[in-house]
Amino acid sequence: MTSRSTRQRTLQALLSTGLIALASGCGGTASDKATATLDDAQMENPARTHEKPRLVLQITVDQFRGDLPTRYADRLGEGGLRYLLEEGIHYNNAHHGHANTETIVGHVTLATGFDRKTGVTTYNIEDRDEHLLTEGADVDAATEIDPTQKAATSDGRSPRAILTTTFSDELASLTAGRAKIFGVSVKDRGAVSMAGHTGKAFWFSKATNQFVTSSYYYDEYPRWIVDWNARKIPESYANTAWKLLHPIDTYLFGKQDDQEWEAELGSYGRTFPHEFTTPENPYFSTFLTISPAGDEITTDFAKTLIAEEGLGDDDVTDYLGVSYSATDYIGHFFGPSSLESEDNILQLDRTLADLFAYVDQEIGLENTLIVLSADHGGPEAPGYLNKLGIPADYVSPDEWDKDPVIAQVKSKFGIRGQMIEGYDHPYLSVLCDPEHFVGTRDGSRQRIDASGP
C-alpha cells in the first residue's frame, strides 16, 4: 500500500496537472475545445500545465454501465455527457477489481482508489453510535424497495467502516482542513462514501421527502438546509408524471414500452406516463427516485449547497461528490434495455448540463475538474435476452438446497436436513451445526467448514 505521505505528494501533483480528469479536462474554457490529453513534455514537467482547480466535482452515476454513456449519443444535447465525451478523457475499458457489485462497494472504490481492503464489502454505511438528525427519517420496512437499504439495522450513518482514507480525506489533509468537502445523493451510502471521514454528507429521506444527515456530521442542521427542505421541492412533483422527453417514435425502445419482465410497481405501472400521485401515497417518494425526478431533486440540492457553502470561492480546492441514483433504480425495475432506461439517460444528460451550466456560472468550468464514473454496471433482464434468443434465467437460491448435486453432497458427508442456509451475494451461508451430521457409510463423522459473511 502506498504510504500516506507519498499519496499526498501524488495528490498535490495531480491537482496541479489535471491528471485525474477521467471525464473532463481541467483548464481551458468550454469554448476552447481543448482536448484533455497529456503529451510527453507534460508528463515530464507537470509544472508547465494548468493551475489547480477551485473545485473537484466527482459525479457517480449508479449502475451507469459502460455502454450507456454513448448508446444514445446521436440524441445527446449540448453541455452534458457530450461535453465530457468531447472535451475530456474517456476511459472506455475501466474495471473495478472487486466481486460484489453493490452501491457502497463501488462508491468506496471510487472514493478511495482501492478495490480491496477498504473494510466495506457489502451492505450499508451504518453506525450504532450515531443517529439521524431528523427523527423518523430512517428506513421504513413497509415501503422500502431498496433491498440493501432495507437490510439496515441502525438509523446511524457514518464513514467509520471505511478503513482507509478517501480522495476527499487526502485533500483535507493536504490543505490543513481548509478544503470544503461534501457528498450528496439520494442514497445514504452514495453520499457518505464520497464525503469521506472529513467531509459532510446529505442524502434523501423517502420517509420525510427531505435531505437529511446524521450526528456524525452535525449537531444541528445549518439554516440553509432547513430552508431548502421548507421549500418542499419533492412535493412539487405531486399530481405530475414521468413523461417521455421526446416523441416515442424517436426512441430505440419506443415499441417496447410494455415488457412482461418489467416491475409493475402498483399505480406507477410499467408504461408511460408514470404517475407520481401525491405525498399521501406512501410510495410517492419512491416513485420520484425511480425516475429522472430523483436526479433533478438531487441537483437542485447540490446547486444550493454550492452557493450556500461557498464552494470554489477561494484559492483552496474544494470537493463535491454527487451520486445520481435514478439509473440504478430504473435498471433494477425495468432493465437497462428498456424505454424507461433510454429516456432516463437522455434526461440525465439534460440534468448534467444544468449542473455544469450552474458550476460554470458560479465557479467557471475552467476552474473545475469534473470526474464522472459508475459504481457498477448491470446485467440485461433475462426476459430481454430470451426475446433475442439468448438463454438466460434468474438464480433461485431458495431452491439450491433441493438440487440433485446438493443431495449427493449431503449423502457423501452424512448431512441431514437443510445444508444451504442462504445466499447473499457474494456470500453462501452453509449450516455447520454438528446435529446435521448423521455419519457416513463407514461410520465416521465428517464436517464441512464454511466461511460465512
pLDDT of the residue at 1: 40
Q: In terms of Cα–Cα distance, which of 332, 436, 311, 432 is closest to 376?
A: 332
Whether residues 269 and 345 fall in one domain: yes
More confident position, 433 or 324:
324
Whether residues 354 and 443 fall in one domain: no
Whether residues 371 and 412 fall in one domain: no
Cis peptide before 336 (omega within 30 of 0): no
Lowest pLDDT segment from 68-77, 84-93, 182-191: 84-93
Report the chain's C-alpha Rg in angstroms: 24
**Judging by beta carbons within 10 Å of its beta carbon (0-12, 13-18, 19+), is residue 434 exposed, middle or buried?**
exposed
The rounded distance, in Å, linking the Cα atoms of 149 and 124 is 7
**Judging by beta carbons within 10 Å of its beta carbon (0-12, 13-18, 19+), is residue 256 exposed, middle or buried?**
middle
- CB proximity list for 143: less than 8 A, separation 6 or greater: 206, 282, 283, 286
The rounded distance, in Å, linking the Cα atoms of 448 and 453 is 16
The rounded distance, in Å, linking the Cα atoms of 368 and 380 is 35
Whether residues 329 and 425 fall in one domain: no
Is residue 214 a part of any domain in this protein? yes
Catalytic residue among 2, 6, 29, 103: 103
The rounded distance, in Å, linking the Cα atoms of 441 and 409 is 13
Is residue 255 a part of any domain in this protein? yes
User: What element of type H or E holds 411?
Assistant: helix 404-413
Q: Which of 385, 408, 441 is the last residue of a domain?
A: 385
Whether residues 363 and 403 fall in one domain: no
Q: pLDDT-derived band of residue 3, with 50, 70 and 90 as boundaries?
A: very low
Asked if residues 239 and 302 have their Cβ atoms less than 8 Å apart, the reply is no
Whether residues 192 and 328 fall in one domain: yes
Compute the CA torsion angle 87, 89, 92, 93 (nearest 10 deg). Answer: 180
Domain total for the chain? 2
- pLDDT of 206 over the 90 cut: yes
CA distances from residue 207 to 34, 151, 153, 237, 436 in whole angstroms, order as listed: 45, 16, 16, 16, 43
Q: pLDDT-derived band of residue 254, with 50, 70 and 90 as boundaries?
A: very high
Whether residues 279 and 299 fall in one domain: yes
What pLDDT digit, counting tens, does each position of 88-133 carry? 999 888 888 777 788 989 999 999 998 778 888 776 678 888 899 9
Is residue 143 a part of any domain in this protein? yes
- pLDDT of 2 over the 50 cut: no
Whether residues 339 and 433 fall in one domain: no
pLDDT of the residue at 170: 98
What is the extent of the structural domain holding 350? Answer: 4-385
pLDDT of the residue at 290: 98
Q: In terms of Cα–Cα distance, which of 111, 135, 282 is closest to 185?
A: 111
- pLDDT of 26 over the 60 cut: no
pLDDT of the residue at 435: 58
Is residue 37 a part of any domain in this protein? yes
Is residue 284 a part of any domain in this protein? yes
Residue 219: count other Cβ atoms within 10 Å of its Cβ: 6
Q: Which of 385, 407, 436 is the last residue of a domain?
A: 385
CA distances from residue 315 to 35, 175, 187, 220 in whole angstroms, order as listed: 25, 11, 31, 29
Lowest pLDDT segment from 10-14, 227-231, 262-266: 10-14
Q: pLDDT-derived band of residue 244, with 50, 70 and 90 as boundaries?
A: very high
User: Residue 302 has which C-alpha cell?
Assistant: 447540490
What is residue 322's three-state secondary structure?
strand
What pLDDT digit, counting tens, does each position of 32-43 carry? 333 333 344 444
- Domain of residue 290, CATH code: 3.40.720.10
pLDDT of the residue at 434: 56
Lowest pLDDT segment from 35-44, 144-153, 155-164, 364-373: 35-44
pLDDT of the residue at 37: 37
Tell me the range of 4-18, 30-44, 389-403 where mean pLDDT is highest. 389-403
Whether residues 195 and 276 fall in one domain: yes
Is residue 150 a part of any domain in this protein? yes
User: What element of type H or E holds 69?
Assistant: helix 68-71
The rounded distance, in Å, linking the Cα atoms of 204 and 185 is 7
Which residue stretches of 182-315 are H helix?
A: 188-195, 223-230, 284-289, 292-309
Is residue 390 a part of any domain in this protein? no
Lowest pLDDT segment from 174-183, 236-245, 375-384, 412-421: 412-421
The rounded distance, in Å, linking the Cα atoms of 293 and 329 is 12
Whether residues 178 and 238 fall in one domain: yes
- pLDDT of 396 over the 70 cut: yes
Is residue 391 a part of any domain in this protein? no
What's the predicted TM-score (pTM) here? Answer: 0.85
pLDDT of the residue at 123: 67
- pLDDT of 7 over the 90 cut: no
Q: In terms of Cα–Cα distance, which of 417, 420, 430, 425 is closest to 399?
A: 420
Dihedral angle sign, alpha carbons of residues 184, 187, 188, 193: negative
Active site residue 2: no
Whether residues 368 and 321 fall in one domain: yes
Whether residues 326 and 356 fall in one domain: yes
Q: How far apart are the first and last CA of the chain?
A: 25
